[in-house]
Structure 1
Amino acid sequence: MAEPTPRTPADELDSLRRTLRDFCDRELRPQARDRDRGEVYPTELIPQLAELGILGAGLPERLGGAGLAYDGYRVVVEEVGAADSSIRSLVSVNVGLVGKSIVAWGTDEQQERWVPGLCRGELGAFGLTEPAAGSNPQQMVTRAVQDADGWTIDGSKIFITNGSEGAVTMVFARAIVDGDDRGVTCFLVPQDSDGYTARKIHGKLGLRAGDTAEIALAGVRVERDAVLGEVGGGMKVALSALDNGRFSLSSGAVGLAREALEVSLRYAAEREQWGGAIASKQLVQELLAAIHVDVQAATGVLDLAEAKLHAGERATLEISTAKLFTTEASVRCADRAVQVHGGYGYVDEYPVQRLLRDARVTTLYEGTSQVQHLIIGRILTGISAF
């Protein structure tokens, strides 16, 4: 059990939200369509994200982070996720999956080497998924062979956010020591290592401005101190990281769903048909009400997860519940938003079709919706079905 974390005063959260909304309105939303159309990585925004503290939002101040508690970090991810999910993904992986993992599991030297850079924009990636090992990481075949001087890593990873534009990747591999498989182990691998090759994946349905990479590891050499946690303890690192990542992803999904509601309300008030604004029509109101209900429910389940985290209690059940509900709700909300916009929702003159495409992947990564059902079922019954 972790130490309880004090909540942030309401006025500070409100001020943080206003600052972030102003930044998103000024710097993220105006070019989101062009970044999406051209699959353009937001290189020019990285320094601004770092300067505002977004890239180190939930990381300790002693290591260059903003030192936000869970409630403040949630506000950051919600607001960025509402404006541009491609950038939200970049942030939540850098902070939730990588930064928090190094703080939780890393030595003092590892923390001091990597975390300040993450906060400055030298991004981190989380290298768990392989071409033949997605929902079941125990099937991974990437190997790290130990010798007198360190480790040699060979294998491949796929669908890795920040995998080609970052500085360090948490690579999970089977540790081979004296010929024996000691189990999945996490290694901190510099992306400029010899033998580390990354190829950006293009043609994605959503998150088109994000850096999603396929990684090849061919004889990559790392020293003994590259192990994060213990040899054979990689799955403990991965599971704790995924709890943090799923909290981030849930926060972003709530932000996206809220954006779907806000843009639909504006459009419905402005669009006139049959002698008046479509907001006055019963069936349009039905769609808007359904989006609102999902936003409120998604906010509620995320509140429960956040409360457990602030209390320092184990929150896997609440986080998996939030991940499952908020991501599925974000798809429903974005789909209804397209319906409210009619034909205009099908083209990118308005943002709702991008919201729908960006929402769709949230039900797939960091554990599919089906995997979340199995996690929840296992916790409720005490019986593992996988």
Structure 2
Amino acid sequence: MHDIRFIRENPAAFDAGLKKRNLAPLSAELLEIDKRRRAAISESEAAQAQRKALSRQIGIAKGKGEPADALMAEVASLEATLKKGEAEAQRLDEELTHRLEVLPNLPFDDVPDGVDETSNVEIRRVGSQRNFPFQPKDHVALGEATGEMDFASAAKISGARFVFLKKHLARLERAIAQFMLDLHTSEEGGYTEVNPPLLVRDNAAYGVGQLPKFAEDMFHTDNGFWLVPTAEVPLTNLVNDTIVEEKDLPLRFTAFTPCFRSEAGAAGKDTRGMIRQHQFPKVELVSITTPEQSDAEHQRMTGRAEEVLKRLGLPFRTIVLCGGDMGPASRKTFDIEVWLPGQNAYREISSCSNCGEYQARRMNARFRPKEGKGTRFVHTLNGSGLAVGRTLIAVLENYQNEDGSVTIPEALRPYMGELAALPAPISGVAGGKRK
């Protein structure tokens, strides 16, 4: 949510930020609405002041036994003017709010210009891609060969973009999530684990910017709840309408939850396998901090997400998104992309965003500085630490062996009962049934 006072004082900077988003300048239009809104408020206040003054005169006149009909008629006329002015002020205020609440956040100055992902800039690349002595398979071929990744049964029950994971793969997914949580909640990680609600109300979805713009991308229940598209929604809302003491910042939260997305805008994209599903597990990272510390916190969060991949020995690259490819709430976003040999491509596995005060304004989330008076809006940050399903895919594809078995990374073996490898598919068995 944007501050109209900032736009009044910095119209050129506001329009420059929109330009980075590949949007036309809007400051003039917004300020014209604001001008008419403030004029209506001023007229209403003047009418109200005049009404009070006349009411006092009426009281004095009646106290002296003098006629007050003319004064009362003038008050009645002002009542109509006042109601009309208040209605116009409210209408313009709602129009301005509607225009502001759907606009994306303004990117930081160092965010690259660009329209789409082709203008994103790679910052670093970590790890070496494995040189396979055989043609590597993708996760679908590896999983379905054992019968432990079952899309067909899920489709009969729930439709497309769902999957059953069974036996070793179900345990591996759980192991990955536990490993991530233990890493993030360690003394070094510094995050507090939270088990949040998976159903939220309108105000929570609005607070992080999901509503009203992304209603079609979420699942809605018939009794007024939204299924969380990410744990960012409930975790960030922990400071909704709250004043936090600066000494208690930063707040760092992590959660492992299923996430639900209707993916309305992804028709025909990534239809094969587990890359893009309606329901998927993710470990989320959320930070609440001061404006002065948000950049350092952003770097730290990205580093903690990268640490997961380093511990798992998975090659990855980190990129900074251009203005045209960032999510609407973000001022700057780092994407981490893991190497998937089955696709011969890097694919996103984490997106770490600094939202500045954009969400805080919508939630009225503030902090009380150690020095000085009043309160200030916090800065909110969120990131995947990591997408668990995509991490499972990366482990399967990067650690696969020629016989179809999969070596388990050392970091995960304590969570797998010290199992060293997922077994190869039994000869003559496909999809869990003997041929």
Say which one has the larger Rg: 2
TM superposition score normalised by structure 2: 0.22
Task: Flag the structure with higher helix content.
Answer: 1
TM-score (norm 1): 0.24
